[in-house]
């Protein structure tokens, strides 16, 4: 299959957008989406102290690579070792993680994780499917295994998303709307 934007071979297919992207355009698409999410959450004002959460998976590997690339020219930011000292905490969560959190909270009848404002917390990859983040990590040298779906809710979400590709985005948008209402 060819890239929807050029004539190169596609490496990523996005059922939710109908696009197939080559390595160059897939990486650019991931970076653009992550940067937009950071801006949407307030960005990194000059002098910000940043803390990057570590989950020891491809997610945090990819997040660190992305941040190193994006922030290499910024000398006005400081990375700290303790989240208590941070102005902004960067989470390695993906779109799948966010959608699953929403669905599990709804199924459990809990709302605290949905309406928690998360002030000072940004998950740049919360708008990017897990598979694309995994591809991005592999592209930059990650050698770990492919993520596995675990649990009934995750399996249900994966099956439903196969039939309705925009499901994860809809669940994330619900969470974002609830957070806005809670302010």
CA distance 181 to 183: 6
CA distance 84 to 19: 41
In a domain, 31, yes or no: no
In a domain, 22, yes or no: no
In a domain, 157, yes or no: yes
**How many structural domains compose the chain?**
1
**pTM exceeds 0.85, yes or no:** yes
- Beta-carbon neighbour count of residue 88 at 10 Å? 22
In a domain, 24, yes or no: no
In a domain, 94, yes or no: yes
**Which CATH number do you get for residue 137?**
3.40.50.620
pLDDT by 10s per residue, the chain, length 183:
999 999 999 999 999 999 999 999 999 999 999 999 999 999 999 999 999 999 999 999 999 999 999 999 999 999 999 999 999 999 999 999 999 999 999 888 887 767 665 668 999 999 999 999 999 999 999 999 888 878 899 999 999 999 999 999 999 999 888 876 655
Could you identify the residue written with the tokens 């070792």?
81
In a domain, 116, yes or no: yes
The pLDDT of residue 154 is 93
Residues near 70 by beta carbon (within 8 Å), at least 6 away in sequence? 31, 34, 35
The pLDDT of residue 40 is 93
In a domain, 29, yes or no: no
In a domain, 145, yes or no: yes
Domain extent for 76: 38-182
């Amino acid at each position: 299959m060819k890239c929807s934007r050029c004539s190169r071979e596609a490496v990523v297919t996005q059922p939710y957008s109908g696009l197939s992207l080559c390595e160059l355009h897939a990486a650019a698409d991931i970076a653009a989406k992550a940067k937009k999410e950071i801006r949407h959450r307030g960005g990194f004002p000059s002098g910000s102290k940043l803390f990057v959460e570590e989950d020891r998976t491809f997610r945090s590997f990819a997040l660190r690579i992305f941040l190193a690339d994006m922030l290499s020219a910024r000398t006005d930011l400081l990375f700290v070792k303790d989240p208590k000292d941070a102005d902004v905490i960067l989470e390695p969560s993906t779109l799948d993680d966010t959608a699953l959190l929403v669905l599990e909270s709804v199924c459990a009848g809990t709302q605290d994780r949905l309406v928690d404002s998360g002030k000072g917390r940004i998950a740049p990859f919360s708008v990017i499917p897990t598979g694309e983040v995994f591809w991005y990590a592999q592209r930059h040298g990650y050698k770990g295994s492919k993520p596995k779906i675990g649990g009934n809710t995750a399996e249900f979400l994966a099956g439903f998303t196969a039939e309705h590709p925009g499901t994860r985005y809809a669940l994330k948008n619900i969470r974002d709307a609830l957070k806005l209402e809670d302010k």
